[in-house]
């Protein structure tokens, strides 16, 4: 008989449900959200699984890699399609979601998600970090402008290279603004340095990934 499984992934523990070809629930439990723990749990069942479904997500991709490495037939499921299919459930719990997902895996009512290779995931992580640093850098610069504007001090149009000198010029001699802006400029300098490092990492990783045709 064919057996199907699904798991509702959470940070600490995932709800796992196993059904047979008729839809009968065979086994269910809460299992640590770690590849080793999940692989061991499926191995203990002694069953051969046709499909094991996980809702697509950052943690799910990591678990999926661990399950497939152990030769388990893991599939990432498209989130919006899954939520629409489970939307009619009256009581939403992790356990019920896992049960519903297991039935969808049994009937084939799911949309698989393409799983990016590790190099592609690494580039994505670098780009996300770069965007975050860029956003925080922009926030600090706007914050400094706002602080100075409250005292009638206008930064005006200034290049990135002249920004720090212009801020120090405006704040010099002010007992409160001078130390406050100095601290914020120090934070800006640190962010700019890390942002530059991140750009270097991104360029190298992008070139490496493109060389294997996975962007």
User: Which two three-digit tokens encode residue 17?
Assistant: 């449900």
The CATH number assigned to the domain holding 101 equals 3.30.420.140
**pLDDT the model gives residue 28:** 96
Same domain, yes or no: 126 and 103: no
Based on the fold, state whether residues 139 and 198 are members of the same structural domain: yes
Reported as a single tens digit per residue, the pLDDT across 17-51 is 999 999 999 999 999 999 999 999 999 999 999 99
What's the confidence (pLDDT) of residue 123? 85
Higher pLDDT, 91 or 21: 21
pTM (global) more than 0.75: no
Sheet of 3-8, strands arranged across: 25-32, 13-20, 3-8, 49-55, 74-77
Q: Are residues 28 and 82 in the same domain?
A: yes
Express each pLDDT in 136-155 by its tens digit: 999 999 999 999 999 999 99
Could you tell me the residue range of the domain that residue 202 belongs to? 118-211
Are 128 and 68 in a shared domain? Answer: no
Q: Assess whether 69 and 151 both reside in one domain.
A: no
Indicate whether 192 belongs to any domain. Answer: yes
3-state secondary structure (DSSP) of residue 4: strand
Distance separating alpha carbons of residues 33 and 43, to the nearest angstrom: 16
Residue 203 pLDDT level (bands cut at 50, 70, 90): low
Asked which of 62, 86, 107 is the last residue of a domain, the reply is 107
Helix (H) and strand (E) counts in the chain: 7, 5
Same domain, 10 and 74: yes
Residue 112 lies in a domain: no
- Give a yes or no: residue 113 inside a domain: no
Residue 124 belongs to some domain of the structure: yes
Residue 89, domain member (yes or no): yes
Average pLDDT, the chain: 89
Helix, strand or coil, per DSSP, at residue 80: helix
Task: Give how many domains the chain has, as a whole number.
Answer: 2
């Amino acid at each position: 008989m064919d057996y199907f499984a699904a798991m509702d992934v959470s940070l600490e523990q995932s709800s796992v449900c196993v059904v047979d070809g008729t839809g009968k629930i065979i086994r269910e439990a809460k299992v640590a959200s770690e590849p080793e723990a999940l692989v061991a749990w499926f191995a203990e069942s002694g069953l051969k699984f046709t499909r094991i479904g996980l809702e697509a997500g950052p943690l799910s991709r990591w678990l999926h890699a661990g399950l497939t490495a152990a030769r388990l037939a893991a599939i990432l499921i498209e989130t919006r399609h899954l939520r629409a299919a489970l939307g009619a459930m009256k009581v939403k719990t992790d356990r019920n979601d896992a049960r519903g997902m297991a039935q969808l895996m049994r009937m084939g009512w799911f949309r698989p998600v393409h799983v990016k290779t590790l190099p592609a995931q690494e580039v994505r992580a670098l780009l996300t970090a770069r965007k975050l640093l860029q956003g925080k850098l922009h926030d600090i610069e706007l914050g400094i402008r706002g602080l100075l504007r409250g005292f009638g001090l206008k930064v005006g149009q200034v290049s990135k290279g002249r920004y720090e000198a212009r801020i120090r010029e405006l704040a010099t001699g002010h007992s409160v603004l001078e130390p406050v802006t100095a601290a914020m400029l120090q934070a800006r300098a640190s962010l700019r340095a890390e942002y530059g490092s991140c750009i270097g990492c991104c360029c190298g990783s992008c070139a490496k990934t493109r060389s294997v045709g996975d962007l």
